[in-house]
Amino acid sequence: MRRRLALAALAAVVSMTPLARAAEWQWSATVDGVTSGETKAAPRAFLWIPPNCARVRGVVVGQHNMQEEPILEHAAFRKTLADLGFAAVWVTPTFNSTFRFDQGAGEPFDAMMRSLAQVSGYGEIATAPVVPIGHSAMASYPHNFAAWKPERTLAAISVSGQWPWYQAKDQPDWAGRSIDGDSRILRHQSNVSRFVKGARTECQPVGGHLAEQIGL
């Protein structure tokens, strides 16, 4: 009897839980020149562009890890992207978890963006400003991307993450590069659970005027 009641209660809870809706990604392209150790094939990059977007003004780029996908698919985040005219790209499996630009990570990234520009018809994506986002074990990727190409980096979002100067054997050698004092780049570190719940989080600006531009 108790078991039946417990099963009935569980069924009631499940029936009241809204079904998850798959987020839309309108286009995709392979990341050529990279072979995933997981799938033994090229990773695939998925692109979302806000409906009725006439021109993409920037692209938030994350890789398959933990919280990157739910952030990029979150309704509140996408609403802000739509307001800004920003697109989102999610790559799975990861093509370079720490973005070893000293070992050529930039070349497949550029090729990926050109492919997405071609398949979507939004040619500006090939050279649009980028906001790299990485969580936890991949939280150094945004800073390494910014060090690689600061002129293209609008912001670096390191979630539950890493400071820009972190060094380890799996990290690229910056070779004297620095993103300190670069007014083009906003560094952002946050607790992802606060953001996903819709809370506003603290920003640590290098160029504080950029905060409003990316909706943080």
Number of domains in the chain: 1
Domain contains 1: no
Q: Which whole number is the average pLDDT over 84-107?
A: 91
Residue 139 has pLDDT above 70, yes or no: yes
Residue 196 has pLDDT above 80, yes or no: no
Domain contains 142: yes
Q: Worst-scoring range by mean pLDDT, 4-8, 80-84, 86-90, 110-114? A: 4-8
Q: Which of 4-8, 62-66, 194-198 has the highest mean pLDDT?
A: 62-66
Q: Worst-scoring range by mean pLDDT, 77-91, 101-115, 142-156, 189-203? A: 189-203
CATH number for position 43: 3.40.50
Q: Which whole number is the average pLDDT over 194-212?
A: 36
12 pLDDT band (50/70/90 cuts)? very low
Domain contains 18: no
Domain limits for position 124:
24-214
Domain contains 6: no
Strand partners, 89: 47, 61
Query: What confidence score (pLDDT) does residue 111 get?
Result: 96
3 vs 133, more confident: 133
Q: Which whole number is the average pLDDT over 22-33?
A: 89
**Segment 98-127, tens digit of pLDDT:** 888 899 999 999 999 999 999 999 999 999
Domain contains 7: no
Residue 188 φ then ψ, to 5°:
-135, 125
Secondary-structure percent of the chain, ordered helix, strand, coil, rounded to 5: 35, 20, 45
The distance in angstroms from the start CA to the end CA of the chain is 52
Domain contains 4: no
Domain contains 179: yes
Query: What confidence score (pLDDT) does residue 213 get?
Result: 41
35 pLDDT band (50/70/90 cuts)? confident
Domain contains 11: no
Query: What confidence score (pLDDT) does residue 51 get?
Result: 94
77 pLDDT band (50/70/90 cuts)? very high
* Residue-averaged pLDDT of the chain: 76
pTM: 0.75
